[in-house]
Structure 1
Amino acid sequence: MIDARPNPDRRRPRIIAALVLRETCARFGRSWGGYAWALAEPVGGIAILSLAFALIAPKPPLGSSFTLFYATGIIPFLMYNSLTTALMAALQANRGLLSYPVVRPLDILVARALLETLTHLAVAAAVLVPVVLALPRPPAMAPEGIALSLGLAAALGTGTGTFNAAIAAIFPTWRQVWSVLNRPVFIISGILFTARGLPDDLAALLWFNPIAHVVEAMRDGVFGPDPDAFVSAPYVLFIAATLFLAGAILIRGQSGKMLQI
């Protein structure tokens, strides 16, 4: 006898799509104004900080525009950082959905990761396109390098965010601990400097920071590749996959406690 009940795995894409729509409405409202503000806020922040740093250091380490140099560092970093923060809070914010048998914790995380990624792809386009077009001599950009950077940022942010969500489900104070641990990351990830401009011993230390690979990949795509080949996509993907799998295993083991997060 054939079982007429639908396979839950076949419904998974529709469940995730519904969760993405729910997240979109909850975060941005039902009008385009909310989503426009979500784009305008980081774009405005990048513009203000770019102007401030340009006044302090008029000549950037790469290229002729400090705005473009800073944007190539902060855009992939913001994507990574927003994913880690948003995913860490996703299970707590949507714990009511976990009472439905068809909704799994990973569905919630994947849906929020997709929404954050799409939002920051729009931010990247809204910042990079006008800045590049405004330059008298735009650099010969490599779109594949830019795509690699954003893909690595999304993968690393999703992996780290999934792991953080699992740890926060076990130890709720992890959110505060992570906030403290994450503060120096902006400084040590190559956003305001380049790996190619560091002494060899410091560049060797920076290599172990996966976020630095993400930033350097963006700069390779905009300003041209580093002859020393600093970026290692397999290294970043290995860390992202390891964190994601570890987080998924922990979440599966704690699934019975998720409603009490």
Structure 2
Amino acid sequence: MVLWSFTKPAYEHGIRLAPFVMTAYMSLILMRHLIGYLAGALQGNMGLLYHRQIGPLHIFSARILLELAGATIAYAIVYVFLLAIGQVSLPSNYLLLYAGWFLLAFISSGFALILTGLAMRFDVMERLIGLIGYLMIPLSGVFTMVAWLPHGFRHVLLLLPFVHPVEMMRSAVFGEFVKTYYDIPYALAFGLVFNVAGLLLVSSARHLIETDS
């Protein structure tokens, strides 16, 4: 990210490149870590399931919190470093930045729980999760701004819930002079649906784990 900042032009499409790349990479890291590592959380902690007080949801919740904490700390370190070398400015709206980051984590966690619940039932899903992680690069819209797209493509991209919290963070970082598009209730509704569906899938698959063990 630092090399990108020094080797690329300072501005692209009228915005500073360093904060654009920062919000892109950190958002992508958060999404891919939650999606990629959640499904494998059970395999490394199967011994804990012998305790009646501990179930799959406890393990998944701990993994989600661990990945969120790690990504949040990494984001803070990167932001402070780029701020110190003059590549980014302080956010214009701290609340919007935090809301976008945690909304992205909420949506990604729900999506990861759905994939994990399916992987607990179908072995082929475990192999597809890695591919889905790569598909998140275009599906998340992190390497473009919605405002750069033609109107028709803009509408299609905004159907994807991951795009909205990323645009929220960019609105917070760039300020009111950069046009952004996001719908908080829309993204929050998707997050709720994802999490409820994911929790139901994981909870109802507990008997599959006990049978295998």
TM-score (norm 2): 0.88
Q: Is the 8 A contact 2:27 2:142 kept in 1?
A: no
Kindly provide the CA deviation profile for residues 35-83 of structure 1, in whole angstroms up to 9, marking residues without a partner as x: xxxxxxxxxxx335x348x53x65323533x222100122122112211
Gap runs ≥5 in structure 2: none
What residue in structure 1 maps to residue 45 of structure 2? Answer: 94
What residue in structure 1 maps to residue 15 of structure 2? Answer: 63
Gap runs ≥5 in structure 1: 1-45
**Aligned Cα root-mean-square deviation (Å):** 2.4
What residue in structure 1 maps to residue 124 of structure 2? Answer: 173
Q: Is the 8 A contact 2:19 2:87 kept in 1?
A: no
- C-alpha change, 1:226 and 1:175, in structure 2 (3 Å) is farther
What residue in structure 2 maps to residue 200 of structure 1? Answer: 151
- C-alpha change, 1:226 and 1:163, in structure 2 (3 Å) is farther
Q: Distance in 1 between matches of 2:88 and 2:63?
A: 38
Paired positions, count: 212
One-letter amino acid of the structure 2 residue matched with residue 201 of structure 1: G
Q: Is the 8 A contact 1:145 1:222 kept in 2?
A: no
The answer to whether the aligner puts 1:220 opposite 2:171 as a matched pair is: yes
Q: Is the 8 A contact 1:77 1:211 kept in 2?
A: no
The answer to whether the aligner puts 1:239 opposite 2:190 as a matched pair is: yes
Q: Distance in 2 between matches of 1:246 and 1:226?
A: 38
What residue in structure 2 maps to residue 132 of structure 1? Answer: 83
SS in 1 for 2:39: helix
Kindly provide the CA deviation profile for residues 90-129 of structure 1, in whole angstroms up to 9, marking residues without a partner as x: 1222122112100011111111111111111101111112
1:194 offset after TM fit, Å?
Answer: 0.5
One-letter amino acid of the structure 2 residue matched with residue 179 of structure 1: G
- C-alpha change, 1:136 and 1:211, in structure 2 (3 Å) is closer
Q: How does 1:1-261 map to 2 (within 5 A)?
A: 46-48=1-3, 50-51=4-5, 54-55=7-8, 59-64=11-16, 66-135=17-86, 138=89, 141-225=92-176, 230-259=181-210, 260=212
- Detail structure 1 runs of 4+ shifted over 4 Å in the superposition: 225-229
Over the matched positions of the two proteins, sequence identity in percent amounts to 22
Question: Which sits farther off after the overlay, 119-128 or 133-142?
Answer: 133-142
Q: Is the 8 A contact 1:159 1:241 kept in 2?
A: yes
Q: Distance in 1 between matches of 2:114 and 2:163?
A: 20
Q: Is the 8 A contact 1:207 1:213 kept in 2?
A: yes
- C-alpha change, 1:92 and 1:236, in structure 2 (3 Å) is farther
Question: Which sits farther off after the overlay, 177-186 or 192-201?
Answer: 177-186
The higher radius of gyration belongs to: 1
SS in 1 for 2:159: coil
Q: Distance in 1 between matches of 2:37 and 2:159?
A: 24
- C-alpha change, 1:161 and 1:181, in structure 2 (3 Å) is closer
